[in-house]
Amino acid sequence: MFLRRGHMPVAGMFVVLLASSCGGGGGSGNNQPNLPVSSCMSRATFGDSTTSDYILPFPVGESSEVLQAYCTTGSHIEQLAYDFIRPFGSEVSAVRDGEVMTVVSHHPDFTRNEIFNYINIRHDDGTTAFYAHLQQGSIVVAEGDFVFAGQMIGLNGSSGTPTACDASLVNPPRDQCAVLHFGVYATYPAVHGNDVAVNFRNADGILDARGGLVLFRVYTALSF
């Protein structure tokens, strides 16, 4: 999914529209030198993953494959955002402490209509984390709530995308497979091109040359 220019927030809703999204820290193994080359990647500057403010957006001990990474082809070609393959109905957790700014939870799953459920959480430095494609009616936090890193905020779903995992090259498609779209933006609400690169201090898996997650690799969330 991607941010489109020229769209303004309506009634506090986040300025993001879906566009067919199907089609950290502590990493082990050798870094991967192959990185996308684009103006998008010029924004992808990471700090030390071991001291990152962020953890992976799923529970400790669970794993996920990266379906789309930063500045890759398709809908992420100009986005600093990840799509994580997750089981339908599995937990989504907050990547960092913050205040819940926007909750949208009423859209149906297994639809390809550019309408999806999402949460925006603003952190103490003004950045905002965006979690999208959540399961209808599954969000357990409300606007104005303060949440902590690792806290469950909702469940993975397929709102806005009916075939979340068909593009996987590592794992075979699974029944009722979901995708979690995750990105961080410098402000709230988001502005196109105002996304910021983050890595994760509890990601166990191979990292690229800048410390980011690698397309079609699997990562496990370690204790933090």
**Domain architecture of the chain: domains with CATH:** 40-221 (2.70.70.10)
Q: Report pTM.
A: 0.81
CA nearest 209: which of 6, 15, 23, 49? 49
Q: Tell me what the mean pLDDT of segment 186-211 comes to.
A: 91
The pLDDT of residue 174 is 53
Instruction: Give the pair of three-digit tokens for residue 176.
Output: 């009722």
State how far the alpha carbon of 202 is from the alpha carbons of 33, 54, 61, in Å: 21, 8, 10
Distances (CA, A) of 223 to 39, 52, 60, 200: 34, 14, 6, 12
Q: Answer for the pair 100, 148: CB distance below 8 angstroms, yes or no.
A: no
The answer to whether residue 143 scores a pLDDT higher than 90 is: yes
**Mean pLDDT, residues 101-128:** 92
Higher-scoring residue by pLDDT: 161, 123: 123
Q: What percent of the chain has pLDDT over 70?
A: 76
pLDDT of residue 20 exceeding 80, the answer is no
